[in-house]
Structure 1
Amino acid sequence: MRRNLLPVLALLCGTLFLFLGNGLQGLLLPVRGSIEGYSNEILGLLGTTWASGFVVGCFVAPNVVRRIGHVRAFSSFLALICLNVLLTGLLVDQTAWLILRAITGFCTAGTSMIIESWLNERATSESRGTIFSLYISITLFGVVGGQLMVPFADVSTPTLFMIGGILYSIAALPTTLSKAASPQPLKRARLDLKGLFRNSPISFVGILLIGIANGAYGTLGAVFATRAGLDQSSVAAMVSITIFAGALMQFPAGRLSDKMDRRYVLAGLSAAAALAGLAVALMRPAGVYDIVVLVAIYGAAANSLYPIAVAHANDFAAPEDFVKVSGGLLLLYGIGTIIGPSLGGPVMSWAGPYALFAVTAAAHILITAYAIVRSRQRAPVPTGDREVYTASPSANGPLSTPESLSLDPRAQTTSTTTEGNRKEN
C-alpha cells in the first residue's frame, strides 16, 4: 500500500496548496469587500460568478487539455489563478473583482479536473479507497486552513492577496516538475436533467435546493458575520466551524441513511438546518458564542444533505450509471450555487444580514416537505439492495468536478461488476 501511495504524494501536496489558496481567497474577498462598502448584491455576485465560471469550466476545460496537454493546461490555469488573486489585491474595484472571480472559477475547475484525473490514473484497486479518502481530507483541511489564515494579517492591505499568490505558485510545482506520463484525456461533463428527475425527483429537487442554500451561505456567511459585528478571527472561526461540523456529521448521518429510508433522513436533517437558520434569523443573536453555536448546528445538518441525496439517487440507478447520475447531480448542485448568492444578496439588503438564514431556511423547509411527500409516493429500495453511503468532497468544501467521480471507489466497483456481468452473458 505504501508503495502505491508514493507516486501520488506530490500530487496530494499540490492539492493541499491549491485548496489553501481557494479557502483563503474565498473568505478574504467578502470580508475585504464588506470593508470597502460593497453592496450585498455585489458580494453575492462574487459567489455567483465564481460558480458560473466553475460550471462552465467543467464543460470546456477538457477541450483545452486535449489541445495543449495536461501539464501545459495545468500550468496555464494556475498561472491565471495566481495572476487573478494578485490583481484582486491591486485592483480594488467591484467590476474587476466579478470578472476575475469568473475566470478563477473556470481555472479552478480545470486544475481540479487535471489533479483528479492524475490521481485516478495512479490509483490501483488496492489504493483507490485510501487515495479518495486522502483527497477528501486534504480538500477539507486545505479550505479550512486557508480560511484560518485571514486573522493573521490586515485584510485592508495587499498582504493576504500576496500570500494567496504564493500558495498557488507552490501548488504548481509538484505537477510541473513531475516526470510521470500524462493521464488519459479528461471526460466531458454531461447533464441530463430529464433523466435525473425521472430517476429520483427528490434527489433532483433536493440537490438544487441544497446548492442554493450552501451557495448563499458559502458566499455570504462571512458578509453576515462582518455585518453582525464579528471581528476577523471570529468570522474565520464561524465559517470554519460550519465545515468541521458538517464533516463530523456526515458519517453518523450516512450510516443512519443506510438503515432507514434516506428521504426521512433528508427530511430530518433539512428540518434541523431550517430550525437553526430560523433561530439565527428571528433571534438575531449578537454574541459570538451564540452565533457560532447556532451556525455549527446549521452546518452539521446542512452539510450532511448532499451525499445522502446522491446516495438515494444511485439507489434507483443502474450500477453502471453511477458516474453519469452522480456527475449530473454535481453539475445541478453547481447551478444551485449560482442561484443562491444571487438570491441571498438582495434579501440581505432588503431585510438585514440575518435574513441570509431566512433564505437557507426556506430552501431547507422545501426539501423537508418534498421529501415527506415523495416518501408517500414511492417505496424505498430494500436495505440490502442499496448503495452504501460514501462521504463526498462537495458536501463541505468547494465544488468538485465530475472527474473526481472516477476516483470514487464506487465507480470502480460498478465498472468491475458491469464487466463481470458482460463476461457471464
Structure 2
Amino acid sequence: MAKALNPIAALLLSVALMLLGHGLQATLLPVRADLEGFSPLAIGIMSSSYFGGFVLGCVMAPFAVLRAGHIRAFAALVSLGSASAILYPVLTAPVAWIVIRFAYGFTLAGFYLIVESWLNERATNENRGALMSTYIIVNLAAITGGQLLLTAIDPGGFTAFVLASVAVSLAVVPISLTRSQQPAPITLVRFRPGKLYEISPAAFVGTFFIGLANGTNWTLAPLYARQIGFDKAEVAYFASAIIFGGALAQWPMGRLSDRMDRRYVLIGLALAASVIAAAIGWFEPTDAVIAIATAGLLGFATQPAYSIAAAHAFDHVESDGFVEASSGLLLANGIGSMIGPIVASLVMQRVGPSGLYGMISFVMFALAAYIMFRMFVREAPSARLHTEFDLAGTAQVGGVLTPELLDESHPNVVLPEFSPVPHVTPDPEAVAEAWETAWDEEEAEAVPPDPEQEIVTEPDQASADNGAEREEAPKAD
C-alpha cells in the first residue's frame, strides 16, 4: 500500500491543503454573508454561482492544461483560488461575492481535473483501487476538517479568510517541488444530454435531481443552522455532519446496490431522505445534538445517491463510453446544483429557514417517484452487464475519474502540449475537428476511427532538451 501511494504523496498533500481551505470557505461564507446582512436570495445566488463556475471549469479547464501543461495550469488555478479567498472581506458586497464565488468554482473544477488526470496516469490495474479510494478519503476528510476549523475562528473577523487563502496557496508547493513527470492524458468534456438520457434516463434525471438537493444542502445548511439560533461551533458541526454521514454511507450503499437493481437502492435512499428532510423542516429541532444527528442521517441518505446513479449509468455503457458518461453526469448534477440554491433561498425568504428542508424533501420525493416510473418502463440490466460498484469511478468530485484506465485513443482523451511524450503535440483545431467527427453517430458508424491518423509534429529544441533530460534522469539516479 505504501509503495503504491509514495509516488502520489505530494499530490495528496496538495489535495488536502486545497480542500481544507475549500471546506472552511463553504461553511464560513453563508455565515459571514448573513452577518453582513445579505438576503437569503443573495446568498442563494452566491451559492449557485459557485456551481456555475464549476460547470464552466469542467468544460474550459482542459484547454488551459492543453496550452500550458499540468503543473503551470495547476499553479495558475491555485493562485486564482487563493486570491478569491482573500478578497471576500475586502469587497463585502453581494455582487462582488457572487463573482468571486464563480471564479472559485472554476478554479476547483480545474483543480479536480488536473489531480484526477495525475491519478489516472499513476494508476494500474493492480493499484487503482488503493489510489482512488485514498484520494476519496483525503477529499472527504479535508473538506470536513476545513468545516470544523470554524469552531475555533471568529466568522466576523479577517482571520478565517486569511487561513483559507493560506491553505489554498500552500497547495501549490508540493506539486511545484515534485520530481514526478506530469501526466500525458487529459479529457475533454462532451455533454450530449439527449444521448445520455437515451443511455440511462434514470441516471441522467436522477443526477439532476440529486444536484438540486445536495447542492442546496451543502451550501445553505450553515445559513439554516445560523438562522435557527446555533452558534458558530454548532453551525460547523451541523454542516460537517452532512459530509460525515455521507462518507459513512458510500461504501455499504454501493455494495448493496451490487446485489440488486440499483434503482431499488436509489428509491430507498430518496424516500428516506424525503422523510428526514420533512422532519427537520417540520419540527425545526433547536437542540444542537438532535439537529446534528438528523443532519448526519440526511447526509447518509442523500450523499451516496450520486454514486449509485452513476454506477447505474455505467451498467448501460461500454467501457469506451465511461469518459463521456462520467463527464455528462457531473455536468447534469452541476446544473441541478446551480438551480437548487436559488429556488431554496426564495422559499426560505418566503416561509423561513424550514423552507430549505421542505424543498429538499419535495425534490427527493420527486426523484423516488421518477425512478419508480422508470422501473415500469425499463427492466434492470442483466447480471452479465451489472458492473461492480467502484466508489472512485462514481465519486461526485471531478469529471476525469473513470472505472477503468483512460484509453489514449479515445476521442475525449488527448495529450497536452507539454506532455511526457515530447514528439506528440496536438493541434487544437485538429483536435476539435476530430472530437466533433468522432461523436457524430452516423459518421462514426460509416467511417471507423483510424488509429494511424495521429497529429505528430517535429519537436522544437526546448521539447527535445526536455525529452533528453527525462531519458538521462533514470541514469543519474
TM bracket (short chain): over 0.9
Does the Cα contact within 8 Å between 2:308 and 2:394 map onto a contact in 1?
no
2:308 corresponds to: 308
Match among 395, 401, 407 for residue 398 of structure 2: 401
Q: Which stretch of the first structure deviates more once superposed, 312-321 or 176-185?
A: 176-185
Superposed, 1:14-413 pairs within 5 Å as 14-392=14-392, 400-405=397-402, 410-412=403-405
Distance 1:69 1:256 in 2: 40
Instruction: Report the CA distance between 1:392 and its aligned residue.
Output: 4.9
Query: Cα deviations across residues 48-68 of structure 1 (Å, max 9, x unaligned)?
Result: 111111110111111112222
Shift of 1:385: 3.0
> 2-side partners of 1:394 and 1:85: how far apart?
29
Relative CO higher for 1 or 2, CA cutoff 8 Å, sep ≥ 6? Answer: 1
Q: Is contact 1:246-1:301 (8 Å) kept?
A: yes
Deviation at 1:225, TM superposition (A): 0.4
Q: Deviations over 1:212-250 (max 9, x none)?
A: 000111111110000011111111111111111111112
Please, which moves more after superposition, 156-165 or 82-91?
82-91
Report deviation, 1:3.
3.2
In 1, Cα distance between equivalents of 2:7 and 2:377? 49
User: CA offsets, 1:380-409, max 9 Å, x none?
Assistant: 1233430111225876xxx5221233xxxx
Q: Is the 8 A contact 1:199 1:313 kept in 2?
A: yes
TM normalised by structure 2 equals 0.83
- Quote the Cα distance in structure 2 between the aligned partners of 1:303 and 1:400: 12
Deviations 1:68-118 (A, max 9, x none): 222221111111111111111222222111111111111111122112212
Asked if the contact 1:16/1:138 (under 8 Å) is kept, the reply is yes
The residue matched to 2:404 in structure 1 has which SS?
Answer: helix
1:139: Cα distance to partner? 0.5
Structure 1 residue 37, shift from structure 2 partner: 1.4
Letter in 2 for 1:404: L
AA matched with 2:398: T
**Aligned in 2, Cα 1:39/1:17: closer, same or farther, shift over 3 Å?**
same
Change (3 A) 1:227 1:343: same
Matched residue of 2:401: which SS? Answer: helix
Once the two structures are superposed, residues 194-223 of structure 1 have per-residue CA deviations (whole angstroms, 9 ceiling, x without a partner) of: 111111111111110000000111111110
Q: What secondary structure sits across from 2:354 in the alignment?
A: helix
CA contact (8 A) 1:46 1:101 kept: yes
Aligned to 2:438: none
Query: What is the alpha-carbon distance in structure 1 between the residues aligned to residue 399 and residue 204 of structure 2?
Result: 16
- State how far apart, in whole Å, the 1-side matches of 2:155 and 2:335 are: 30
Q: Which amino acid aligns with 1:79?
A: S
**Cα shift at 1:320:** 2.3
Q: Is the 8 A contact 2:216 2:340 kept in 1?
A: yes
Task: Give RMSD over aligned pairs.
Answer: 1.8
The code of the aligned residue for 1:403 comes to V
> How far does residue 152 in structure 1 lie from its aligned partner after superposition?
0.5
Please, what TM-score do these two structures have when normalized by structure 1?
A: 0.92
Q: Is contact 1:136–1:393 with CA below 8 Å preserved after alignment?
A: no
Bigger Cα displacement from structure 2, 215-224 vs 110-119? 110-119
2:46 touches 2:97 (CA, 8 Å); kept in 1? yes
Separation of aligned partners in 2, 1:66 and 1:392:
24
The answer on whether the counterparts of 2:310 and 2:394 sit within 8 Å (CA) in structure 1 is no
| Change in 2 beyond 3 A, CA 1:413/1:97 | closer
Q: Which has the higher helix share?
A: 1
The 3 A distance-change label for structure 1 pair 345 and 2 is: same
Letter in 1 for 2:340: G
The total of aligned residue pairs comes to 409
Code of the residue aligned with 1:352 in structure 2: it is G
- CA pair 208-131 structure 1, distance change in 2 beyond 3 A: same
Deviates more, 1:273-282 or 1:308-317: 308-317
Q: Distance in 2 between matches of 1:358 and 1:303?
A: 18
